Structure 1
């Protein structure tokens, strides 16, 4: 009984650390998107700092979870949580990388280019970024609270981000055809938008692992 109590405390700590990773990743992504639409390099710096913090937490948690599997012989339900947590931690780490990549585009590419093409799509990019960031925040919340219903809502919102991604691609393509001088800026903005779309994809993946951890079913099997 004492051993089980200690194990439960350890698993609660795992959930808290991965939740902290997720919350830092949300800040990294949202700061990077704000830097993109506003051209504010300080926000890009903030994004990159949080990405570094997520990396440190990920390395610690990855090693700890693998050690737990090897030494604790967890029960089936515990193993489902541990495996899901490993996958979720990896997804969160990749999301933070996307925030860092967007921030680097702002700092190292767009800073020396004409900002007008960015201004033309800024409002739509902001909307898409807000949707993706909210999906990520809710996916992390679903993990923290083991909430399969909230995870399902996250999954269902991915199509909204995809629709905006397609709309932005059309706008950027039309702008590139009309203004050859804007093509380099548009290329960089398009790359950043692809990272935002991937944030939504990874958030969906997180939500699917939360659903599995909470219910024992794969999302596609249950629906």
Structure 2
């Protein structure tokens, strides 16, 4: 292959990584702004998050088109092929993260009209953790760092622990006073949105491991969401 062709191909692969980094940055911003809108009861910021989701959708389509073009024209093999396949999967995960952030923002608009219940500290801690995991997973892709990716892959349990605490707290609020049911239900959905964002961040880390190492993590990912089995008793 001529030198200029190799250089052009390398530039295209770099461009692909840059596209994923930009998409990851926007997804991270969406999570941060959706959480800030919830805490500040800021409907204007929440509306911006909802409207901005179209950018992530467009970026996913751009990544998809670019990857298809690379596959068709370059016929990549080995690590290059894995990178392109990984980019397709990661773009989808990032688009889904954007959907969950949009949904959380929509619910924060409703919550701004409801009486405030409980503390939102758990939501802020959860959002911070999933943002850190998301940023770490994207950084691992940029630096071909499978060890960092493996750390992120195994780091979701604290997110689940916070979610479980919020789940029980919201159910308790509902039982103590039926007037809390609407707000608590919306907050439960926001917490679930953040928990799912954490899952997609670890999916990205698993994909990065595949892109760098060429094998698939076969162990079951540590998972701490026990809400499906929760038993909540009425207050005495």
Give the alignment's TM-score, normalised by structure 1.
0.93
Q: Distance in 2 between matches of 1:112 and 1:220?
A: 46
Q: Distance in 2 between matches of 1:38 and 1:217?
A: 44
- 2:88 aligned counterpart, secondary structure: helix
1:55, distance to aligned residue in structure 2 (A): 1.7
- 1:121 aligned counterpart, secondary structure: coil
Candidates 74, 77, 80, aligned match of 2:79 = 77
Q: Distance in 2 between matches of 1:145 and 1:53?
A: 25
CA contact (8 A) 1:142 1:150 kept: yes
Q: Distance in 2 between matches of 1:210 and 1:4?
A: 24
Structure in which a larger fraction of residues adopt helix: 1
**Counterpart mapping for 1:33-112 below 5 A:** 33-107=35-109, 109-112=110-113
**2:146 is equivalent to residue 144 of structure 1:** no
- List runs of 5+ in structure 2 lacking aligned partners: 222-236
1:49, distance to aligned residue in structure 2 (A): 4.4
Q: Distance in 2 between matches of 1:217 and 1:90?
A: 20
Q: Distance in 2 between matches of 1:134 and 1:154?
A: 9
Stretches (4+) displaced over 3 A: none
CA contact (8 A) 1:138 1:151 kept: yes
Residue of structure 1 in register with 2:194 after alignment: 196
1:45, distance to aligned residue in structure 2 (A): 3.2
Residue of structure 2 in register with 1:5 after alignment: 7
RMSD of the alignment, in Å?
1.5
Q: Distance in 1 between matches of 2:72 and 2:144?
A: 24
Q: Distance in 1 between matches of 2:198 and 2:120?
A: 18
1:75, distance to aligned residue in structure 2 (A): 1.5
Q: Distance in 2 between matches of 1:16 and 1:212?
A: 19
Residue of structure 2 in register with 1:217 after alignment: 215
Q: Distance in 1 between matches of 2:135 and 2:80?
A: 24
Residue of structure 1 in register with 2:156 after alignment: 158
CA contact (8 A) 1:31 1:47 kept: yes
